A and B are shown apart, each in its own frame.
Chain A
């Protein structure tokens, strides 16, 4: 069980206290720009002045963030993978034989899978995925989803938090849904994902209402200093 708190005074996030259990598969939803990535960074201990987190974390960033000047082999070696284990790790993410390639020689989807291999290399207790399916065509997205599912099934104790825009992704990967909304952002919803399609659809309707409420709130909170000219300029 991981206890995690955001203290008061954070510029983006409201004070909150989160509990994540072993094997929790959480899908983090919310309007774009609300602070989902900020929350992930906070969990990973990446915000200024934060101490190193107490548990091992694997973080799949939106960009692959592999070192472009090192081959995949060397990128994996740098996070502590033994030389003889590199190829089996690469084949786990469907990149057999790509060890000698540089990251920029790979397609977006392949680079993301290589980055996923690096996440798994550290045997994380908590896996953070920041929009893993963004900018992939539907076919590749489904492939990656299946791959992540397979990897999750293999590591039942690992907790996961996955940021996405689509409840569809949540249904495929998660058993729990967080909905982040408001300014500062707080969890408007924290609940289990239903097992049946009907329950998921019901949740989708709920979240949609939450989303509309929260964007209405955000609009209401914005200072009304824009004159007609300024509003014109924004067309």
Chain B
């Protein structure tokens, strides 16, 4: 365990050194050096463009994430608890899980035009099946013994949800959140690239057209950093707090 934080700082710096050496050797605009990327990053940040596009993309991620989680959690729990709902939705789920994100995005743009709602909808429909499948597993694993307990002590539906269900579903919610963030921001970029005129995806589109690899890397790395910050500042503290009872240890048992 002690070696882990150290190891964490081995691979990434090595990669940077390797990248720097390669860029220095090739001396081509197609592989800019890390410093050149940093330079682009600074220039974009100074003009305010970086912040603007990051904010727009982040907003799209937040909206589609919230919608997809809300819908997916409801559908997943209903499927896990009610066999009829499961029978109805299961074929649809299989279909959607296997439908390429790209197909859905193109279809929605063709049908509804290059509008914001179509973009968000495409991302949401892509993500809902993953959330639903994860939460269905969670709902199926709810402890029937605690259900009986909640019935004996006459827990209201809200109390049951808050104190009996959510703590049991928490690991599944976290798994859906983690997988959700990673998947959603990638799809958002594709959606932006194909049909929006702002956001990180749109900037990547521009960079692609003029083979501006430095711009491409600058925008991608900036967004990866933001996703990593969300993980460190929001998800991990949340998880630590919720699993306090687990780590409290069995001092008597």
Q: Is the interface of B mostly helix, strand, loop or mixed?
A: helix
* Pair B148/A41 contact, Cβ less than 8 Å: yes
* Pair B245/A63 contact, Cβ less than 8 Å: no
* Pair B164/A67 contact, Cβ less than 8 Å: yes
Report Cα–Cα, A70/B155, bound state, in Å.
15
* Pair B152/A105 contact, Cβ less than 8 Å: no
State which size class the interface on A falls in. Answer: 20 to 34
Across-interface contacts of B167 in A (CB, < 8 A): 67, 69
Across-interface contacts of A59 in B (CB, < 8 A): 149, 152
Give min CB distance, B145 to chain A, whole Å: 6
Which single residue of chain B is at the shortest CB-CB distance from A46? B148
* Pair B249/A118 contact, Cβ less than 8 Å: no
Answer yes or no: B146 CB below 8 A from chain A CBs. yes
* Pair A78/B252 contact, Cβ less than 8 Å: no
Among listed A106-114, A139-147, A171-179, A201-209, interface-contacting one: A106-114
Which single residue of chain B is at the shortest CB-CB distance from A71? B245
A41, A58, A67, A110: the one within 8 Å of B252 (CB): A110
Which single residue of chain B is at the shortest CB-CB distance from A115? B149
Answer yes or no: B240 CB below 8 A from chain A CBs. no
Report Cα–Cα, A208/B98, bound state, in Å.
63
B149, B154, B159: the one within 8 Å of A65 (CB): B149
- Contacts known (A65-B146, A67-B164, A69-B245); A107 close to B253, Cβ less than 8 A: yes
* Pair A57/B152 contact, Cβ less than 8 Å: yes
B146, B148, B248, B253: the one within 8 Å of A108 (CB): B253
* Pair B248/A61 contact, Cβ less than 8 Å: no
Across-interface contacts of B249 in A (CB, < 8 A): 105
B107-160 with Cβ < 8 A to chain A: 145-146, 148-149, 151-155, 159
Write the A69-109 contact mask toward B (1 if CB under 8 angstroms, else 0).
Answer: 11000000011000000000000000000000010111110
Report Cα–Cα, A122/B145, bound state, in Å.
19
* Pair A104/B253 contact, Cβ less than 8 Å: yes
Give min CB distance, A97 to chain B, whole Å: 14
Report Cα–Cα, A118/B249, bound state, in Å.
23
Write the B210-253 contact mask toward A (1 if CB under 8 angstroms, else 0).
Answer: 00000000000000000000000000000000100100111111
Answer yes or no: A68 CB below 8 A from chain B CBs. yes
Report Cα–Cα, A138/B242, bound state, in Å.
37
Report Cα–Cα, A108/B253, bound state, in Å.
7
Which single residue of chain A is at the shortest CB-CB distance from B242? A69
- Contacts known (A61-B149, A78-B155); A105 close to B250, Cβ less than 8 A: yes
A41, A46, A65, A106: the one within 8 Å of B253 (CB): A106
Which single residue of chain A is at the shortest CB-CB distance from B143? A65
Answer yes or no: A23 CB below 8 A from chain B CBs. no
Answer yes or no: B186 CB below 8 A from chain A CBs. no
Answer yes or no: B43 CB below 8 A from chain A CBs. no
Give min CB distance, B187 to chain A, whole Å: 34
B146, B153, B251: the one within 8 Å of A79 (CB): B153
Answer yes or no: B163 CB below 8 A from chain A CBs. yes
Across-interface contacts of B245 in A (CB, < 8 A): 68-70, 102, 104
A-B contact pairs, 27 of them (CB 8 A): A44-B148, A46-B151, A58-B152, A59-B152, A61-B148, A61-B149, A65-B148, A65-B149, A67-B146, A67-B164, A67-B167, A69-B167, A70-B245, A78-B159, A78-B163, A102-B245, A102-B248, A104-B250, A104-B253, A105-B249, A105-B252, A105-B253, A107-B252, A107-B253, A110-B252, A118-B153, A122-B153
| Interface positions of A (Cβ within 8 A of B) | 41, 44-46, 52, 57-59, 61, 63, 65, 67-70, 78-79, 102, 104-108, 110, 118, 122
7 pairs of A and B residues whose beta carbons are closest in the complex: A107-B252, A69-B167, A65-B149, A102-B245, A69-B245, A79-B153, A59-B152
Contacts beyond the supplied A58-B152, A63-B145: 19 A-B pairs with Cβ under 8 Å: A44-B148, A45-B151, A52-B154, A59-B149, A65-B146, A67-B146, A69-B242, A69-B245, A78-B153, A79-B153, A102-B245, A105-B250, A105-B253, A106-B252, A106-B253, A107-B252, A107-B253, A108-B253, A122-B153
